[in-house]
Amino acid sequence: MPPFDDQPHRRFNPLTGVWTLVAVGRTQRPWSGKLEPASGDDRPVYDPECYLCPRNTRAGGAVNADYEGTFVFTNDFASLRPETPLLSDEPHPLLRTETEQGTCRVICFSPRHDLTLALMRPEEIRRIVDLWATQTAELADVYRWVQVFENRGAEMGASNPHPHGQIWAGSALPTQAMAEDAHQRNYFGATGRSMLLEYAELESTDETRVIVDNDEWMAVMPYWATWPFEALLLPRRGVARINDLSPNQRDGLSEVLSGLLVRYDNLFERPFPYSMGWHGAPGTEPAPHWQLHAHFYPPLLNVTMRKFMVGYEMLAEGQRDITPEEAAIRLKGLSAVHYLRRGE
Ligand code: H2U
Ligand code: ZN
């Protein structure tokens, strides 16, 4: 167990260089809320009004393919466009601007409107891992940074319950990527070791914060977590990018991903909202300092309450109300069977 658990303390995130304040006992415990009826569990297999279901017409008139597995299309409201010219302007050091070239895609995880990743079997999730990999490889040939992500649930701004994610790829290295690149590079330069590979080893000798794992992957509540039920998905072997994963690693990932998402849903017996995304090495050059990983940032503190990152968090630094170890114990004690699949 970490020291100072009974006192307010700060923990350092070596990946981003950011501190989080752990102020335990500040609010009620996250599992003491009353259960609200789960929403979104009674969706049809096909929704004629859904812009992601097969064969339906999207805004702007494009018609979705009659797809059976996964389906990818360029976002009809793309924030980034490939034809934007690369320009920069700095009339004064305080007034810097650069244009951003890129593309935005929407990726449907399944033709089934009623499914979620948490309800899919690992074999079905594997299809999505393969899609993330092929999309990343394709876009990394053109753009410096490829951001694969999923906003799940209306609480995180998802516009549609149909299982889907997004990919944005762009010419610049975004702020988070830049911080993680610099910190991993410095650590590798100073120690000759990959930071997150070493971290995964640390976590597996202790296991306090490991939520679910197998021979290839672990889902861990990071020591420095800011969000109440934040998780980090880490491979056990060195790998820089999702498209570099072996078939065996992809199977292992699908299993751990399923294990984490089932527990997330089981925590409050409702679909658990989150934003998740992959961080692989930027570009296509060898990157021994960079270890592939995924972040999960769920906003809930308990079943009825969202963790608001406001006041102190906005103006000083992130703050959490329960220790990561308490949150990990809570999650890993949950059933590996989804609450909607009990009795099947
Ligand atoms: P989110 O649910 O994570 O917001 O993703 C859905 C995306 O789908 C969103 O970015 C796009 C929105 O721009 N979209 C289309 O491309 N076509 C449509 O017909 C509706 C929504
Ligand atoms: Zn649909």
| Sequence spans of domains, the chain | 41-88+96-341
Q: Which of 75, 149, 297 to mutate to test the pocket of ligand 1 (most atoms within 8 A of CB)?
A: 75
303, 237 Cβ separation under 8 angstroms: no
Separation between Cα atoms, residue 127 and residue 246, nearest integer Å = 14
The string of pLDDT tens digits covering residues 307-326 is 999 999 999 999 998 999 99
* Other residues' Cβ atoms within 10 Å of the Cβ of residue 259: 20
What angle, 0 to 180 degrees and rounded to 10, lies between the N-to-C axes of helices 247-268 and 122-140? 120
Which residue type does 97 have? T
- Contact partners, residue 186, CB within 8 Å, separation at least 6: none
Q: What's the burial of 313, exposed, middle or buried (CB within 10 Å: 0-12/13-18/19+)?
A: middle
Give the per-residue pLDDT at 12. Answer: 98
In the chain, the percentage of residues whose pLDDT exceeds 90 is: 86
The pLDDT score that the predictor gives to residue 206 is 87
- pLDDT < 70 regions, the chain: 1, 25-41
Ligand 1 lined by 51 (C-beta under 6 Å) = yes
The pTM for the full model equals 0.95
Confirm or reject: Cβ of 317 under 6 Å from ligand 1: no
The ligand 1 atom at the shortest distance from the C-alpha of residue 159 is 2
Report which of 30, 26, 15, 11 is spatially closest to residue 300, judged by C-alpha positions.
Answer: 30
Residue of the nearest CA to atom 6 in ligand 1? 159
Q: In 3D, which of 18, 10, 19, 36 has the Cα closest to residue 270?
A: 36
The finding on whether 56 has its CB within 6 A of some atom of ligand 1 is no
Nearest to 121 by CA among 338, 312, 332, 343: 338
pLDDT at 220: 98
49-107 per-position pLDDT tens digit: 999 999 999 998 999 999 999 999 999 999 999 999 999 999 999 999 999 999 999 99
Residue 169, beta-bridge partner list: 103, 146
Among protein residues, the one whose CA lies closest to atom 20 of ligand 1: 59
The Å distance, Cα 1 to ligand 2 centre, comes to: 45
Instruction: Check residue 70 and give its pLDDT.
Output: 97
How far apart (Å, rounded) are the C-alpha atoms in residues 334 and 238? Answer: 29
Number of H helices, E strands in the chain: 6, 14
CA-CA-CA-CA dihedral for 233, 235, 240, 244, to nearest 10? -110
Q: Which two tokens stand for residue 116?
A: 């979620």
Q: By three-state DSSP, how is residue 160 classified?
A: coil
Instruction: Tell me the CA end-to-end span of the chain in Å, nearest whole number.
Output: 38
Cβ partners under 8 Å of residue 181, min gap 6? 173, 281, 282, 290
Q: DSSP class of residue 216?
A: S
pLDDT of residue 32: 44
Q: In whole angstroms, what is the distance from residue 55 CA to residue 190 CA?
A: 54
The whole-angstrom separation of Cα 268 and Cα 330 is 11
Q: Using CA atoms, how far apart are residues 63 and 57, in angstroms rounded to an integer?
A: 4
Q: Determine the length of the chain.
A: 344
**Which atom of ligand 1 is nearest to 157's Cα?**
4
The answer, yes or no, to whether any atom of ligand 1 lies below 6 A from the CB of 211, is no
**Which ranges in the chain belong to alpha helices (H)?**
122-140, 175-191, 195-206, 247-268, 311-315, 324-332
Local structure of 60: helix, strand or coil: coil
**C-beta of 50 in contact with ligand 1 (< 6 A):** no
CATH number listed for the domain at residues 41-88+96-341: 3.30.428.10
How many whole angstroms separate alpha carbon 317 and alpha carbon 325?
20
Which residue type, as a one-letter code, is found at position 269?
E
Identity of residue 340: L
What residues act catalytically?
164
Residue 289's SS3 state is: coil
